[in-house]
Structures are given as structure tokens and as C-alpha cells.
Amino acid sequence: MAEKLEKSTVFQCQQCGDCCVGRGGIFVKPGEVEAMAALLELHVAEFRRRFIEDSALGHRLTVADGVCVFLMPGNLCRVHPVKPFICRQWPFFPALLVDPDELEHAKGACPGLNPDCAHEDFVEAALNHARKQNVS
Ligand code: SF4
Ligand code: SF4
């Protein structure tokens, strides 16, 4: 019954914090800066000054001492309710959805991924997750 596969079947974050070190950059999309600034009750300009840096690939969250500036003790996210799409999208990244080898590689890096999850089940769970996002 693959159509009933839930995200939790293939992925449950263990809050190890490893993906919050910001490898490759924690990029932000339009609107996300405003949402995070509102959550922290900061003016957008102040938020940008303190937490956003520019790069050739776009705007991204600042990394301080080797981790995202919003990673808190206990590996909790300070902006969790409105964290950037790139953080909310994991583990359903395009590379993992199209390439079974990429999924296997990711299993070795992220302890939240079910090591026994087949690629087709992973894709089905991603589709169901996307459908839920679209109706909510
Ligand atoms: S690496 Fe995986 S288990 Fe660890 S915090 Fe990131 S998503 Fe969660
Ligand atoms: S915004 Fe939150 S989830 Fe995203 S990298 Fe920073 S601490 Fe991790």
C-alpha cells in the first residue's frame, strides 16, 4: 500500500544537528527573511544585518562557530516554525528523489533516514508529503 506511506515511515529527525552546520549554505527564499524577523520581533533590516550574508548563489543564513546562527543548545532550531524551505524540505531533496545512490549516501550522513527504506518507498512518501503540504 505504497500510497499510504508517510514521511515518518522513511524519516524521523534524531536532532543530531549535523545538517545545521550549513554545508553548501542555508539559503533563504523571498518572504522567509520577513517571517523569521517577525518571529524574532526584529525589523527586517536589523535581521538582515545580523543574520544574513550574501553569496554568489544568493542570500543565506550566517554560520557562526561552524553552525547555523539559529542552532540552539539541544540542537533545537530558534526559528523552527518559519525556518527556511531548504531546512523544511529535507530529506526530500531532488537529488535524493531521482537517484537511489544519493539516497543511500544520505542514509550514511543522516541518522534520521530509515536505513531500510527502499528508494521507491522514499519517493512515494515524498509525494504524499507534498500532497499534504498542498492541501494544508
Ligand atoms: S542530520 Fe538528519 S537526524 Fe540529524 S538533525 Fe539533520 S535531519 Fe535530523
Ligand atoms: S534554520 Fe534551523 S533548521 Fe535550518 S539550519 Fe538553522 S538551525 Fe538548522
pLDDT digits (tens, 9 = 90+) for 32-55: 999 999 999 999 999 999 999 999
Q: Tell me the average pLDDT across 108-115.
A: 95
Mean of all residue pLDDT scores within the chain: 92
Residue 119 above 50 pLDDT?
Answer: yes
Nearest atom, ligand 1, residue 75 CA: 5
Contact 90, 27 (CB under 8 A): no
**Interval 69-96: pLDDT, tens:** 999 999 999 999 999 999 999 999 999 9
Pocket test residue of 40, 71, 110 for ligand 2, highest count of atoms within 8 A of CB: 71
Minimal-distance CA residue to ligand 2 atom 5: 20
Rounded to an integer, the average pLDDT of 11-29 is: 92
Long-range contacts of 103-106 (CB under 8 A, 24+ apart): none
